[in-house]
Chains A and B, each alone.
Chain A
Amino acid sequence: MWIYEKKLQYPVRVSTCNPMLAKFLIEQYGGADGELAAALRYLNQRYTIPDRVIGLLTDIGTEEFAHLEMIATMVYKLTKDATPEQLKTAGLGDHYVDHGKDLFYHNAAGVPFTATYIQAKGDPITDLYEDIAAEEKARATYQWIINMSDDTDLNDALRFLREREIVHSQRFREAVEILKEEQGKKKIF
């Protein structure tokens, strides 16, 4: 089971009231390479991956939910006190009409989240290569969001999230090494 902890993984600060950034950030909430897709991808693959890497998929999948909460926090802070007029100017008019101030699992262009964002091929190497690609795609997405943002406090937390993609990719690459290793041989550094 999972236990919720009443704290963010990283202190999220937003310094400017700029709801347009929320529109960009929602990509990492309900987009193809977002944190929800990541969490669901890894936590679904773990049931059938070799035992040696189940722990890694479980732990990274769990951390992705902490990142989802950070993104949600950013979107919440950027929109909670915005007027309908400000939302309209920010390109969030369509969102507001359908969802009000609620968050929703869709990407920056408003396309709703779909399970087809998640790959599950039943072949451990294929699945792990998918995971490595997903981490690199999320890293790139964070780069483009940071490039569009002049909010240094927000960028600080986005930089943290981008760095996590690098570390996750590193661990998935190691998982591939573990699974491709000849059996019965001892790991030497």
Chain B
Amino acid sequence: MKQVPAEYYQLLEQLQVVDFVLVELTLYLDTHNEDLEAIKQFNHHAKERKQIKKQFESQFGPLQQFGNSYSGYPWNWDDSPWPWQV
């Protein structure tokens, strides 16, 4: 049985943490278009999530497809595990 290493869960959680802040700020900004401080915070975390995404994908493969992530060789988008399996 091949299992993902502990680091998978750690990096995944880092991504879940920053993405959750982005979700919350997105919904907030949808009703508060002019809150400059919140927009600055949003852009700060958007930049941060790019770096974590890059690090996660270099170790555990693409997070998105249709061209939003690069592919390894062979095509590794459809590699297990899927999110509900881990």
Touch A–B, Cβ below 8 Å = yes
Binding site for B on A (CB under 8 A): 3-12, 53, 55-56, 59-60, 63, 69, 72-73, 76-77, 167-168, 171, 174-175, 178, 187
B23 within 8 A of A: yes
**Contact for B23 among A4, A9, A76, A178, CB less than 8 A:** A9
By the criterion CB–CB under 8 Å, are A63 and B23 in contact? Answer: yes
- Tell me whether A10 and B84 are in contact (CB under 8 A): no
Inter-subunit contact A6/B31 (CB<8 Å): no
Q: Are A4 and B27 in contact (CB under 8 A)?
A: no
Question: Could you tell me which B residues sit within 8 Å of A by CB distance?
Answer: 9, 12-13, 15-16, 19-20, 23-24, 26-28, 30-31, 34, 61-66, 68, 77, 82-84
Chain A residues with CB below 8 A from B13, complex form: 11
Q: Are B64 and A171 in contact (CB under 8 A)?
A: no
Chain A residues positioned under 8 Å from B68 (CB to CB): 3
B63–A167 touching, CB < 8 Å:
no
Contacts of B24 in A (CB 8 A): 167
Q: Is the CB of A73 within 8 A of B84?
A: yes
Contact of A11 with B84 in the complex, beta carbons under 8 Å: no
Pairs of residues from A and B, 10 with the lowest C-beta to C-beta distance, nearest first: A73-B84, A56-B30, A174-B31, A8-B83, A55-B30, A171-B27, A76-B84, A6-B63, A5-B64, A3-B64
Interface SS of A by simple majority: helix
The answer on a CB contact under 8 Å between B16 and A171 is: no
Indicate the member of A3, A6, A59, A77 with the most B CB atoms within 10 Å: A6
Q: Considering the complex, give the chain B residue whose CB is closest to the CB of A57.
A: B30
